[in-house]
Amino acid sequence: MKTQKAIKERRSIKHFDADHEITAEEIEELLSLAALSPTAFNVQHWRFVVVDDPALRQAIRAQSWDQAQVTDASLLIVLCADLKAWEKQPERYWANADAAVSEFMLPAIKAYYANKSRVQRDEAMRSCGIAAQTIMLAAKAMGYDSCPMDGFDFNRVAQLIRLPQDHIISMFITVGKATEKPWPRPGQLPLDELLIKNRFDPRRPKAQPEVMAAVKAELVTDVVAEAMPEANDGVSAEPVAAVKPKAKPKAKPKAKAKPKAKPKPKAEDEA
């Protein structure tokens, strides 16, 4: 299947054939493809929790607004990330690179991630987002449908899958055979609203005060989480208060200080 066709035909499916069984070989193929997704510094921090225990699936469904995909899909992946993968034998991530490259990379990884909980979390979410789309497009090419999901209680699901303290859950990906067509695409924004040429227009309206307050609250939460890790619930590395803000910020806050550019040595591309 052509990539363009897979992209156009992938839809979020709500009803799966509960009797269809995906094979172990298909799961391996899907996850092997997902594992080729890019990650910054190649830290490969995603962890794919495949839930095939029916009782556990039921328990997770009960924490997921009773959404049927959780039990009826052939495959339920709880897409997680290890926030501390960067410090766990990082030489593995550059094992096949030239010595000069890995000698540069290892201290660079440490400098980039150490003591920066926000960076660790942001990178994890970025990587999981990319891996999620890889899984969904690969599934489509393999004759399957899928649904990404975050409609669930993150802390409860973390407990159910015994999520380690230094991991977070990004989302679920369910994969299976659709039994009902998705509803028509609900409304795609025109490209000219999404495409910004070079810079944002300085005349565009400033973000609403309540949006800025939500953004600020999230930033404060991160600072608190860093200073007081015990404020977490003891289950997930995800700070309790850092659950999704009710109103999604429409605009990103201006960065106070320009973050240091990540060193991108030429050799990285060659590795």
Ligand X SMILES: Cc1cc2nc3c(=O)[nH]c(=O)nc-3n(C[C@H](O)[C@H](O)[C@H](O)COP(=O)(O)O)c2cc1C
CB of 34 to ligand X, least distance (A): 16
* Residue from the set 30, 72, 148, 168 that interacts with ligand X by CB under 6 A: 148
Distance, in Å, from the CA atom of 99 to the CA atom of 89, rounded to the nearest integer, reads 16
# of chain residues touching ligand X (CB under 6 A): 13
Does the footprint of ligand X cover residue 149 (CB under 6 A)?
A: yes
Does the footprint of ligand X cover residue 133 (CB under 6 A)?
A: no
CB of 133 to ligand X, least distance (A): 9
Q: Following CA atoms 50, 133, 245, 162 in sequence, which dihedral angle do they give, to the nearest 10 degrees?
A: 10
CA distances from 260 to 77, 94, 104, 106 (A): 35, 23, 17, 17
* Residue from the set 6, 14, 17, 102 that interacts with ligand X by CB under 6 A: 14
Does the footprint of ligand X cover residue 150 (CB under 6 A)?
A: yes
* Of 193 and 201, CB closest to ligand X: 193
CB of 14 to ligand X, least distance (A): 5
* Of 1 and 7, CB closest to ligand X: 7
Does the footprint of ligand X cover residue 182 (CB under 6 A)?
A: yes
CA distances from 76 to 34, 43, 163, 183 (A): 14, 24, 16, 22
CB of 25 to ligand X, least distance (A): 27
CA distances from 202 to 120, 196, 205, 225 (A): 31, 12, 8, 34
Does the footprint of ligand X cover residue 135 (CB under 6 A)?
A: no
Does the footprint of ligand X cover residue 176 (CB under 6 A)?
A: no
Residue that is written with structure tokens 């363009």 in the block: 4
* Of 70 and 97, CB closest to ligand X: 70
Span of 9-17, 45-53, 118-126, 231-239 interacting with ligand X by CB under 6 A? 9-17
* Residue from the set 51, 75, 139, 147 that interacts with ligand X by CB under 6 A: 147
Span of 79-87, 141-149, 236-244, 248-256 interacting with ligand X by CB under 6 A? 141-149
Q: List the Cα angle 182/187/188 in 5-degree steps.
A: 110
Does the footprint of ligand X cover residue 67 (CB under 6 A)?
A: yes
Span of 37-45, 83-91, 119-127, 149-157 interacting with ligand X by CB under 6 A? 149-157
Interface positions with ligand X (CB under 6 A): 11-12, 14, 67, 147-151, 171, 182, 185-186
